[in-house]
């Protein structure tokens, strides 16, 4: 990210990132791969279906906990991309033929972008950059490809229920130009439109707790289009697995802790044990 620029859009905790330095040819290749993958017949995609291993990896849906619940109007495909040792290649599609390589290259490019963003955040908070480098070492990263089919009765369904991401931050790339993302600010839903090939960066719950609430995670949802599918790729950047989630001592002023502490693993367990519901998990950590 040689000449990265951050444009604050709407709420302060959702950013549009342009001039991020990720090659356009790579982004275009990945976009074409993603569209081609989702356009395949169901039985070809089901080769990669999730197998309830608790990691959500593969093709399917997230946060399905009962037969009765109303599902979000979306298909997804999720792979863990970093640390590289945690990749499970059985979930990585072999077709289109360039897909694996493009995911790998994109994953690496985003570690550069993520490092720059952590540096900005550390500097803003007055925390030594090494602290963040240590918390996010090996760049834990997962990629979720979202496909939101059109629906003639779009107002009766929701693409993704309101939630904040359980990440440090998430980097969203719109694969096509169908809008639908909304963020919540002061109780109101505001539509976010992406600039071409810009990244939308959504701050996540982990950053909110670490920063003692100086940075707030952003609640967001996706609306469905009546005619066109929306397709996105969201790269989640989380901390290493053994993190104890609590405000960093450097940012706590006058001893006032705004959040309790919880292991990151427990936090993720709580997240996956319920349907997405706004910022409900982080609310419980608030003191």
Q: Name the site residues for ligand OGA (rule: CB under 6 A).
A: 144, 146, 160, 165, 172, 181, 220, 222, 232, 234
Q: How far is CA 211 from CA 3, 72, 126, 157, 217, in A?
A: 26, 31, 10, 35, 11
Q: Give the nearest residue (CB) to ligand OGA.
A: 232
Q: Which does 212 bind (CB under 5 to 8 A by kind): Ni ion, ligand OGA, none?
A: none
User: Between 24-38 and 99-125, two packed helices, what is the crossing angle to 10 degrees?
Assistant: 120
What six digits make up the tokens of 141?
């990263």
Nearer Cβ to ligand OGA (22/224): 224
How far, in Å, CA of 160 to CA of 146, rounded? 10
Nearer Cβ to ligand OGA (113/181): 181
> Closest separation between CB of residue 253 and ligand OGA, Å?
31
> Closest separation between CB of residue 202 and ligand OGA, Å?
7
Q: What's the start-to-end Cα distance of the chain, in Å? A: 37
> Closest separation between CB of residue 201 and Ni ion, Å?
12
> Closest separation between CB of residue 119 and Ni ion, Å?
23
How far, in Å, CA of 273 to CA of 251, rounded? 31
Site string for Ni ion, 159-188 (x = CB under 5 A): ------x-----------------------
Contacts of residue 111, Cβ cutoff 8 Å, sequence gap at least 6? 82, 139, 141
> Closest separation between CB of residue 52 and ligand OGA, Å?
20
Q: Which does 222 bind (CB under 5 to 8 A by kind): ligand OGA, Ni ion, none?
A: ligand OGA
Nearer Cβ to Ni ion (29/145): 145
- Beta-strand pair 14-18/199-203: antiparallel
How far, in Å, CA of 183 to CA of 162, rounded? 9
Residue ranges that bind Ni ion, judged by CB under 5 A: 165
């Amino acid at each position: 990210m040689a000449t990265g620029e951050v444009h604050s859009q709407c709420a302060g905790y959702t950013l549009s990132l342009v001039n991020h330095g990720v090659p356009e040819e790579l982004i275009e290749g990945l976009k074409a791969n993603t569209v081609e993958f989702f356009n395949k017949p169901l039985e070809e995609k089901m080769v990669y279906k999730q197998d309830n291993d608790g990691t959500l990896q593969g093709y399917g849906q997230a946060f399905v906990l009962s037969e009765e619940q109303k599902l979000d109007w979306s298909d997804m495909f999720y792979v863990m991309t970093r640390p590289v040792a945690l990749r499970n290649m059985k979930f990585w599609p072999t077709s289109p033929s360039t897909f694996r390589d493009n995911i790998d290259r994109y994953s690496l490019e985003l570690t550069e972008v993520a490092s720059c963003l952590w540096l900005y955040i550390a500097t803003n908070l007055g925390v030594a950059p090494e602290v963040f480098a240590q918390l996010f070492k090996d760049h834990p990263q997962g990629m979720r490809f979202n496909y939101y089919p059109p629906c003639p009765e779009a107002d009766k369904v929701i693409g993704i229920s309101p939630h904040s991401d359980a990440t440090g931050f998430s980097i969203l790339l719109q694969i096509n130009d169908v809008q639908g993302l909304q963020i919540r600010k002061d109780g109101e839903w505001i539509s976010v439109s992406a600039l071409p090939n810009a990244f939308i960066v959504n701050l996540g719950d982990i950053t909110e707790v670490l920063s003692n609430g100086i940075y707030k995670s952003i609640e967001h949802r996706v609306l469905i289009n009546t005619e066109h599918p929306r397709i996105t790729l969201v790269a989640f950047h989380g901390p290493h697995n053994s993190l104890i989630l609590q405000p960093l001592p450097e940012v706590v002023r006058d001893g006032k802790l705004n959040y309790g502490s919880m292991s990151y693993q427990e936090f993720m367990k709580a997240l996956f044990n319920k349907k997405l519901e706004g910022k409900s998990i982080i609310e419980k950590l608030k003191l």
